[in-house]
Amino acid sequence: MRFFFRSRQFKIILSITLCLVALSIMSFLIGGNLSPQSNVFGTIAAPFRTAFTTVSGWTSDFVKMIGDGNEAQIKNAELENELNELRKKLSDYDEAVKQNEFYEDYLEIKDENPDFKFCPATLVARDKNDPYKSFTINKGSLSGLKEYDTVITDAGLVGYITDVGLTTSKVITILSPDITLGALDDRTDDSGVLSGTLELAEEGNTRFYNLSRSCNVAIGDFVVTSGEGIFPSGLLIGTVQSIGSDKYNTSIYASVKPFVDIAEIRSVMVITNFEGKGGLEVGGSK
Amino acid sequence: MGEVNSMIRKKLNPIIILSNILIFIVVLFFQTSEIFDISIKTATPMIPLSLIIGFAFFSSMRSAIIWGLISGIMIDSVAYKSYCFNAIAFMLIAVAVYLASNNLFNKNLKAALVLALICSVVYFVLLWILFYSKTSIDSSLGYLLKYALPSATYTAVLVIPFYFIYRYFSKKIIKN
């Protein structure tokens, strides 16, 4: 084994490691961009990932349907098989209708916020080892996406973009403690900070904290973005599920159930521009 | 062992090469897609790591480095704030497993499991130190105890199928 450390192979490994360490440091310092090698591999793999994700979506839908044990659904599946040929003819039409519905939901948000510029994207990979459910989408700098762009669905806020590659981008979710954003109780206008914790992320919830002791936040209230920082104001986040007081009894916090089921997301919209964007830098430990 | 390695290099069967590439592609895509989530509660295995350990146990040093590096970069391209951590970790783990299996251990299942456990614990502890330890103490320790260590154990156990697959490939190559 000691000969190994004098061998050519060891020198090659050492050089590769040093190069990668240098690239890591560079990516860390520059921030917001995928490392060059991840970018190249990510770009090559992106179309395959999209195809794989689509197939996996169909499979999980099918498995879920079977798992439900609903006879009507199973019968429906049998009928669907019989109508397969007809469906083939109608598939283009169905696809168009689906896309139309998808955009219709966002049209409502767009109507309310004419300054928003959207870019639709599809989830292509999920970091399964991240308890905060971060994921990768199939759009990158080629589509005009940038670091800190807001990611939403028709139900509400999802998170923001942390790393941008040519054709892929990584998204951090509102379940993560690395995200910190200003939020408001929609009913009472009480303001606080929204950030995740591991315990709440396990339940799919996030934390609305730093609320003053005199606040009137109640269970069932809607929480929206306050517009401070990188997010546009008034975006729906979730509902207050429970209320507690912090360790030193100085402020109140609430557990918020996001409107978006982050574990089930398949397509999102990225807000690439809005009025007042770039006013403040992002908070959190990033 | 050097003799066996040179045999491996000389008599590589194209079917085995293709099967190997296919196994890597499928495992890498399964790791990042929603299909067949084999997590048990909070234990989420890093299947490509089990694959790399099983592969490096029977491969040549060069193959171990190349496949370790490629798998790591592929994981880096989708993992949250990983920078080049996975590329470095996977490559070094592949080299360490190759060296240990050829110099310190017999190539049996017990050795593979021990090596897999050591490597996956090191991997998940490093992941925790670098990326998840800077949050609150509760979240940080919670990640280590609830996620990292169970996931490391699960990853180590998953080396078993890959051990048998690559042992079979290795025997086939030697027979040829």
pLDDT exceeds 50 at position B78: yes
A164, exposed or middle or buried, with CB in 10 Å at 0-12, 13-18, 19+? Answer: buried
Q: A221-252: per-residue pLDDT in tens? A: 999 999 887 899 999 999 999 999 877 777 88
Write out chain B residues lying below 8 Å of A197, CB-based.
135-136, 138-139
Q: Is B80 helix (H, G, I), strand (E, B) or coil?
A: coil
Q: Where are the domains of chain B?
A: 2-9+46-175
Q: How much is the pLDDT for A97?
A: 67
pLDDT exceeds 70 at position A280: no
pLDDT exceeds 60 at position B59: yes
Q: How much is the pLDDT for A116?
A: 86
CB of B37 within 8 Å of a chain A CB? The answer is yes
The DSSP annotation for chain A comes to -TTGGGSHHHHHHHHHHHHHHHHHHHHHHH-SB--HHHHHHHHHHHHHHHHHHHHHHHHHHHHHHHHHT-HHHHHHHHHHHHTHHHHHHHHHHHHHHHHHHHHHHHHHHHHH-TT-EEEEEEEEEE-TT-TT--EEES--GGGT--TT-EEE-SSSEEEEEEEE-SS-EEEEETTSTT--EEEEETTT--EEEEE--HHHHHTT-EEEEEE-TT----TT-EEEE-S-TTSPTT-EEEEEEEEEE-TTSSSEEEEEEESS-GGG--EEEEEEE-TTTTSS---S--
Q: How much is the pLDDT for B4?
A: 46
Q: Is B13 helix (H, G, I), strand (E, B) or coil?
A: coil
**B43 in Cβ contact with B154 (< 8 Å):** yes
Write out chain B residues lying below 8 Å of A27, CB-based.
83-84
**A129 in Cβ contact with B89 (< 8 Å):** no
What's the rounded mean pLDDT across residues B92-107? Answer: 92
**A240 in Cβ contact with A208 (< 8 Å):** yes
CB of B133 within 8 Å of a chain A CB? The answer is no
Segment among A34-48, A143-157, B101-115, B135-149 with least mean pLDDT:
A34-48
pLDDT exceeds 60 at position B8: no
pLDDT band at A286 (very low <50, low <70, confident <90, very high): very low
Q: How much is the pLDDT for A71?
A: 66
Q: Do B78 and A136 make contact, defined as CB atoms within 8 angstroms?
A: yes
DSSP state of B77: T
CB of A139 within 8 Å of a chain B CB? The answer is no
What's the rounded mean pLDDT across residues A141-154? Answer: 93
CB of A197 within 8 Å of a chain B CB? The answer is yes
CB of B136 within 8 Å of a chain A CB? The answer is yes
Of the partner residues A34, A56, A165, the one whose CB lies closest to the CB of residue B35: A56
pLDDT exceeds 90 at position B15: no
What's the rounded mean pLDDT across residues B44-73? Answer: 93
In angstroms, rounded to a whole number, what is the distance separating the alpha carbons of residues B4 and A62?
47
Percentage of chain A modeled with pLDDT above 90: 42
pLDDT exceeds 60 at position A184: yes
pLDDT band at B90 (very low <50, low <70, confident <90, very high): very high
Of the partner residues A9, A16, A53, the one whose CB lies closest to the CB of residue B69: A16
Q: Do A198 and B33 make contact, defined as CB atoms within 8 angstroms?
A: no
In angstroms, rounded to a whole number, what is the distance separating the alpha carbons of residues A225 and B36?
35
Percentage of chain B modeled with pLDDT above 90: 57
* Paired strand residues for A170: A136, A163
Q: Which of A248, A259, A226 is nearest to A105 (CA)?
A: A259
Q: Please give the backbone phi and psi of residue B155, each rounded to the nearest 5 degrees, phi first.
A: -60, -40
- Match 């807000």 to its residue by tokens: A271
In angstroms, rounded to a whole number, what is the distance separating the alpha carbons of residues A85 and A282?
52
Alpha-carbon gap: A77 to the closest alpha carbon of chain B (Å): 20
**A153 in Cβ contact with A174 (< 8 Å):** no
What's the rounded mean pLDDT across residues B57-67? Answer: 91
Residue partners of A224: CB distance under 8 A and separation at least 6: A183, A184, A186, A233, A234, A235, A236, A237
Q: A76-105: per-residue pLDDT in tens? A: 777 777 777 665 666 566 656 666 776 677
Which pair of tokens denotes residue B164?
Answer: 């048998």
CB of B15 within 8 Å of a chain A CB? The answer is no
Output the CA angle A152-A154-A156, nearest 5 degrees: 50
Average pLDDT, chain B: 87
**Quick count: other Cβ atoms within 10 Å of Cβ B74?**
29
Q: Do B80 and A170 make contact, defined as CB atoms within 8 angstroms?
A: yes
Domain annotation for chain A: domains and CATH numbers: 30-277 (2.40.10.350)
Q: A100-115: per-residue pLDDT in tens? A: 776 677 777 777 777 8
Average pLDDT, chain A: 83
Higher pLDDT, A67 or A269: A269
**A14 in Cβ contact with B82 (< 8 Å):** no
pLDDT band at B1 (very low <50, low <70, confident <90, very high): very low
Q: Do A162 and B81 make contact, defined as CB atoms within 8 angstroms?
A: yes
Selected for mutation to probe chain B from A7, A20, A122, A147 (highest B CB count within 10 Å) is A20
CB of A5 within 8 Å of a chain B CB? The answer is no
**Quick count: other Cβ atoms within 10 Å of Cβ A15?**
10
DSSP state of B144: I
